[in-house]
Amino acid sequence: MEYLPIFIQIKNRPCLVVGGGSIAARKVALLRKAQADVTVVSPELCDELKALNDDGAIHYVARGFEEADLDSCVLVIAATDQREVNERVSELAHDLRLPVNVVDNQELCSFIMPSIIDRSPVVIAVSTGGSSPVLARLIRTRLEGSIPAAYGRLGKLVERFRDKVKSAFPTVESRRGFWEKILEGPVAEKVFTGHDNDAEAMLDKAIEEQSQLPETPGEVFLVGAGPGDPDLLTFRALRLMQQADVVVYDRLVSPAIMEMVRRDAEVVYVGKERDKHTMQQENINQLLVRLAKEGKRVLRLKGGDPFIFGRGGEEIELLAQEGVAFQVVPGITAANGCSSYAGIPLTHRDYAQSCVFVTGHLKDGSVDLNWKALAHPNQTVVFYMGLHGAPTLCKEMIAHGLPASTPVALVEQGTTPQQRVLIATLDTLLDVIKNEDIKPPTLIIVGEVVSLHDKLKWVEEHHADNVDGVFAYRDK
């Protein structure tokens, strides 16, 4: 981020606006909305500001800007049409470490003003970092339309009941659970339809009833996060990602997806790179049980689909044994994501009538597969975790009857901005892996369907190391 969005408390605090024209008037209006104590310095005032001055709503100093005007103010906005004056205000304010905004001159600003959607106490600020005010306004317009004005009244209702709820529900988790139900349920609906008194009565009743209930037990959400692109998450995954108290994730979950997890959730990284398990599987299983038994909603977030080479089965086995509630949310597995984004259909009437997913990495590190069943001319074989065992893979597929010229695709970091697709054959695969410095996570697709890549590829590759969104292991 180029800028940190923050909300500043300026109620009753002295703020200075330099300039007396219509742009200055707009800034004054904003500051007054936030209940600031506004002083305007300018030789002249536009009608709007004159009216405010006549009403005693602002302090007015009728002259040009002077250094001493900055004394004791907490924030300053320069909105004159004189470049030198704006520059001077900016320079002096920077010297004093005073937040300064100069209208239409981002370089002179220490803070910029966002587009605002005001549903006070709910306020949404949209900024494009100054790059496109038009885009910010467009986004604002969309949000305006989708966030009813009643959200402000809902926010006020929550404000009024905050202390009551705090004393009725002793733990953070229980309060959070209570508010989530309220804000998505009939109480909120009452507010949206203008029945605020009914909403208050219902909220009182809900506090009384629900605070008597025993604490809700914890639960584990075993969720497939897909191969990397956040757009490939399911709706359900996203919903549970927003509800979790704790997130337990491993290296295949891309940072772009982690960005979408509830902000205040506790986050536990459990690694799991080949041969470098940050936390042993047994310990992960135990951790899930312990967290759920503490009453937490635990999001176990896994790359791809949890039940495809994801050890998801092992994790819920212990949960079932321990009587912990859980649910499983499928994700798009790497084979689906990578093949789609590489333009390689896994089956095709002319080339492959079956498709097999196999792991190139067995429990003991060997690659002992049923090669006879895999080496079929009209079959696509997708190898997960296949890089390490690639020499065996090529040797055995050829030894069991596939031509050495059978096309093979390597899809590295599929579906992410760093996706690379490299095409080889069974007898050139090892050279390509070595020469192109292929790294995990990479999927290996073997079969005639790979020949369609050239015609059907549609994702542009950037080959950029500096694009955000790489997997965690790349940072090490």
Ligand X SMILES: C[S@@+](CC[C@H](N)C(=O)[O-])C[C@H]1O[C@@H](n2cnc3c(N)ncnc32)[C@H](O)[C@@H]1O
CB-based contacts of 167-171 (< 8 A; 24+ apart in sequence): 168/207, 168/208, 168/211, 169/210, 169/211, 171/215, 171/295
Catalytic residue annotation: 250, 272
Task: Give yes or no for a contact between 115 and 125, defined as CB atoms under 8 angstroms apart.
Answer: yes
Q: Find, among 437, 434, 440, 444, the residue nearest to 474 by Cα.
A: 440
- Interface with ligand X includes 411 (CB under 6 A)? yes
Q: How far is the CB of 283 from ligand X (least distance, A)?
A: 17
Q: Candidates 106-114, 256-264, 320-328, 409-417 — which segment interacts with ligand X by CB under 6 A?
A: 409-417
Backbone angles phi, psi at 232, to 5 degrees: -95, 5
Q: Does 384 bind ligand X (CB under 6 A)?
A: yes
| Stretch in the footprint of ligand X (CB under 6 A) among 35-43, 364-372, 406-414, 460-468 | 406-414
Minimum CB separation of residue 385 from ligand X in Å reads: 4
> Is the peptide bond between 121 and the residue preceding it cis, with omega within 30 degrees of 0?
yes
Question: How many binding residues for ligand X (CB under 6 A)?
Answer: 23
According to CB under 6 A, which one of 220, 338, 344, 355 is a site residue for ligand X? 338
Site for ligand X in 73-102 (CB under 6 A): none
User: Which SS3 state, helix, strand or coil, does residue 476 take?
Assistant: coil
Selected range binding ligand X among 151-159, 161-169, 342-350, 413-421, rule: CB under 6 A: 413-421
Residue selected from 157, 165, 220, 252 as contacting ligand X according to rule CB under 6 A: 252
Specify the stretch interacting with ligand X by CB under 6 A; choose among 104-112, 116-124, 135-143, 440-448.
440-448
Please, which residue, 80 or 413, has the CB nearer to ligand X? Answer: 413
**414 forms part of the interface with ligand X (CB under 6 A):** yes
Is residue 380 near ligand X by the rule CB under 6 A? no
Check residue 389 for interaction with ligand X (CB under 6 A).
no
Of 285, 284, 279, nearest in space to 322 by CA? 285
In the bound state with ligand X, the residue whose beta carbon lies nearer, of 160 and 236, is 236
At residue 248, the 3 state secondary structure works out as strand
Element (H, E) at 359: strand 354-359
Q: Examine residue 237 and tell whether it contacts ligand X (CB under 6 A).
A: no
How far, in Å, CA of 435 to CA of 476, rounded?
A: 22
Give the contacts of 34 (CB within 8 A, at least 6 positions apart).
Answer: 10, 11
Nearer to ligand X, 130 or 469 (CB): 469
Residue 364 CB, nearest distance to ligand X (Å)? Answer: 16
* 431: exposed, middle or buried (Cβ count in 10 Å: 0-12, 13-18, 19+): exposed
Cα–Cα distance measured from residue 42 to residue 21, given in angstroms and rounded to the nearest whole number: 9
Q: Does residue 415 bind ligand X (CB under 6 A)?
A: yes
Which of 433, 441, 452, 470 contacts ligand X by CB under 6 A? 441
Q: Which residue number places its CB atom closest to ligand X?
A: 304
Indicate the residue type of 24: A
Quick note: the x/- pattern for ligand X over 20-59, rule CB under 6 A, is ----------------------------------------
Cis peptide before 441 (omega within 30 of 0): yes
Nearer to ligand X, 41 or 369 (CB): 369
From 334, 426, 445, 446, residue interacting with ligand X (rule: CB under 6 A): 334
- Residue 346 in contact with ligand X, rule: CB under 6 A: no
Residue 120: C-alpha distances to residues 124, 150, 159, 200, 253 (Å): 9, 10, 11, 19, 36
**Residues in contact with 156: Cβ distance below 8 Å, sequence separation at least 6, in sequence order:** 121
Kindly state whether residue 472 participates in binding ligand X, applying the rule CB under 6 A: no
Does residue 443 touch ligand X according to CB under 6 A?
yes
Per-residue x/- track, 291-310, ligand X (CB under 6 A): -----------xxxx--xxx
Q: Which is nearer to ligand X, 119 or 302 (CB)?
A: 302
Site for ligand X in 448-467 (CB under 6 A): none
Interface residue with ligand X, options 42, 333, 339, 406 (CB under 6 A): 333
Helix (H) or strand (E) holding 150: helix 150-168
440 binds ligand X (CB under 6 A): yes
- For 191, the enclosing helix (H) or strand (E) is helix 186-192
Q: Fill in the DSSP letter of residue 40.
A: E
Residue nearer to ligand X on the CB measure, 34 or 385: 385
Nearer to ligand X, 178 or 384 (CB): 384
Find where tokens 């590190």 sit: 365
Cα separation, 155 vs 212, in Å, equals 25
List of residues contacting ligand X (CB under 6 A):
227-228, 252, 302-305, 308-310, 333-334, 338, 384-385, 411, 413-415, 440-443
